[in-house]
Amino acid sequence: MTHPGNALELLAARHFPSFLARCFNTVDPGSRFFGNWHIDLMAEYLEAVRRGEIRRLIVNVPPRSLKSLTISVAYPAWRLGHDPALRVVVASYAHELARRHSLDTRAVMKSDWYRSLFPATRIRRGRDRAQRFSTTANGFRFATSVGGTLTGDGGDLLIVDDPHDPRRAQSAALREATLTWFDQTFSTRLNDKRRGAMIVVMQRLHEADLSGHLLARGGWTHLSLPAEVESAQRIHFGKVQMVRHPGTPLHPEREGGDELAEARRMLGEAGYAAQYLQRPAPAAGGLIKAAWLRPAAMPDPARVRRVLQSWDTAYKADALNDPSVCLTVIEHEDGLHLAEVFRERLEYPALRREAARLAARWRPSVILVEDKASGQSLIQDLKAMPGRLPVQAVRPVADKLTRLAVTTPRLEAGGFTIEAGAGWAGDFVREATIFPNAAHDDQVDALSQLLSWLDAERGRVVRLKLGGL
């Protein structure tokens, strides 16, 4: 008679979803594991990879679907348990993300239950590092970042988990760099081109992201799991047979209808369609729609929280360069109101006087100035003025298109208005809705700078509330 404990161990060794549940409890012991049919389906595809029936697999799933735990953490541990000589390479867009997944896999493989389950698989002493650890059978799991070097490291199983930074996926240059790295570096590291396997797991971010690039080329098995479906979908692969109905979230125990609605609101329709529905599409027209920029009267003073100013300063005052721009925005209980746009070509002494005048008129809580060109001098001079003006230097972290793209969900969600009847309103709307094809982009730069700062501020507040994590 088989002991119940031994039976459970045998089940985990043979049944990947059972193994995954134990991994979850190891890496996140304070949380409850909720199994789901989509996890069973991913497991069926991963089993097909192990059997050699699938050599090239793309898995597209929404955030918070346990994709990384399943494919980057548990699956390498499970494969090494069955074959301790296997060589696994796992890459993610960020070094810290890749390192964290590696540490989670190592924690699983060092657990008592894993060692009991797979007694032949042991991590070799002296070759046990966060980024790379080896087994006594000379297998290994190696973690790297997208764009990183792989000199001398080949693998039997190559996994790419989240190859693109979601905040920068709209940058054509950064996407192209990722595609080039995959084609010319990562994919060449298979030890056996005929028998080795590659897996790409990610949420869709752009029609020309790595998934789109590989699907257009052909030769890849594609598993797409949208957060919700518009029509009934029959699923039959391996042991998973079911019909998925509209209105039923992919994993309701982790992300139900209310959570999906909030994700749609935060990401906007385009972002939600890509990341949650796995349907990226080119934007129809500009990134900013005219309907998002509604005219309105000045907000009730009783509902005003603070005034913000955002400066985009020009390099020179000649007619070929962008003017210097200052947006004055009132933050109130219902959103943001663009109260004034200052836009002129000025030599620096006049620019400094206008900045001081606008600060005195509106008394802003924050004055944002990009830390470049004449902005550097303006930051220093405003800080030196009497009254300790609240100047903050801002350094952009991506190209203009990317900076704007990540802030548009705030505009699309509503709550952004512009001063009704203002003489500058028409020009502002034209530039915003034509970008990036307008002759000038100074107003858009000042706007994305302000919205990015607000998003970053919100992130800082959340971290403080969580204890600085």
Here the CATH number for the domain that contains residue 432 is 3.30.420.240
Give the pLDDT of residue 279: 85
pLDDT given for residue 51 in this prediction = 94
**Same domain as 16, residue 55:** yes
Same domain, 261 and 325: no
Task: State the burial class of residue 353 (Cβ atoms within 10 Å of its Cβ: 0-12, 13-18, 19+).
Answer: exposed
Same domain as 318, residue 271: no
Which residues does 88 contact at the CB level (< 8 Å), separation at least 6?
Answer: 76, 79, 80, 139, 140, 141, 142, 155, 156, 157, 158, 159
Look at residue 280 and tell me if it is in a domain. no
Are residue 86 and residue 228 in the same domain, yes or no?
Answer: yes
Q: Are residues 363 and 390 in the same domain?
A: yes
**pLDDT score of 465:** 44
> Do 185 and 305 belong to one domain?
no
Q: Position 99: which residue type?
A: R
- What is the pLDDT at residue 67? 94
Confidence of residue 459 (pLDDT cuts 50, 70, 90): low
Q: Is the pLDDT of residue 413 over 90?
A: no
Cα–Cα dist 72/77, whole Å: 9
Phi-psi region of 226 (alpha: psi -120 to 50; beta: other; left: phi over 0): beta
Confidence of residue 141 (pLDDT cuts 50, 70, 90): very high
Reduced to 3 states (helix: H, G, I; strand: E, B; else coil), residue 59 is strand
Could you report the per-residue pLDDT of 340-354, keeping only the tens digit for each? 999 998 889 999 999
Considering the domain architecture, whether residues 17 and 122 belong to the same structural domain is answered as yes
Identify the bridge partners of residue 327 per DSSP, sorted by sequence position. 310, 341
Structurally, the chain folds into a number of domains equal to 2
Residues 229 and 308 placed together within one structural domain of the fold: no
- Entry pTM: 0.67
How high is the pLDDT of residue 433?
84
Residue 104 shares a structural domain with residue 206 = yes
Considering only 20-29, 178-187, 326-335, 421-430, which range has the smallest mean pLDDT?
A: 421-430
Instruction: Give the pLDDT of residue 316.
Output: 60
Please tell me the predicted confidence (pLDDT) of residue 463. Answer: 41
Domain boundary among 245, 275, 305: 275
Asked whether residue 318 falls in the same domain as residue 437, the answer is: yes
Tell me what percent of the residues of the chain surpass a pLDDT of 70. 91
pLDDT exceeding 90 applies to what percent of the chain?
59
- The C-alpha atoms of residue 216 and residue 224 are separated, in whole angstroms, by 15
| Backbone angle region of 126, left / alpha / beta, with phi > 0 → left and psi within -120 to 50 → alpha | left
Statement to judge: residues 389 and 334 lie in one domain: yes
The answer to the question of residue 283 being in a domain is: no
Domain boundary among 217, 243, 275: 275
Query: Strand pairing partners for 28?
Result: none
Which sign, positive or negative, has the C-alpha torsion 196, 38, 143, 104? negative
The pLDDT value given to residue 10: 66
Residue 203 lies in a domain: yes
Band of pLDDT at residue 397, cut at 50, 70 and 90: confident
Which CATH number fits the domain that encloses residue 178? 3.40.50.300
For all residues of the chain together, what is the average pLDDT?
88
Express each pLDDT in 311-324 by its tens digit. Answer: 999 866 554 456 89
Q: Is the pLDDT score of 295 beyond 70?
A: yes
2: pLDDT confidence band, cut at 50, 70 and 90? very low
pLDDT at residue 5 tops 60: no
In a domain, 281, yes or no: no
Q: Answer whether residue 282 is part of any domain.
A: no
Residue 389 falls inside a structural domain: yes
User: Both 358 and 266 in a single domain?
Assistant: no
- Residue span of the structural domain in which 437 resides: 290-465
Residue 119: partners with Cβ closer than 8 Å, 6 or more residues away: none
Comparing 282 with 18, the larger pLDDT belongs to 18
Q: How confident is the model at residue 45 (pLDDT cuts 50, 70, 90)?
A: very high
Least confident of 122-131, 173-182, 441-450: 122-131
Q: Is the pLDDT of residue 160 over 90?
A: yes
| Residue that is last in its domain, among 218, 244, 275 | 275
pLDDT of residue 400: 80
pLDDT in tens, 248-257: 899 999 889 8
285 part of a folded domain:
no
Peptide bond into 280 cis (omega under 30): no
Instruction: Provide mean pLDDT across the span 411-421.
Output: 90
Does a structural domain hold residue 339?
A: yes
Distance, in Å, from the CA atom of 19 to the CA atom of 117, rounded to the nearest integer, reads 10
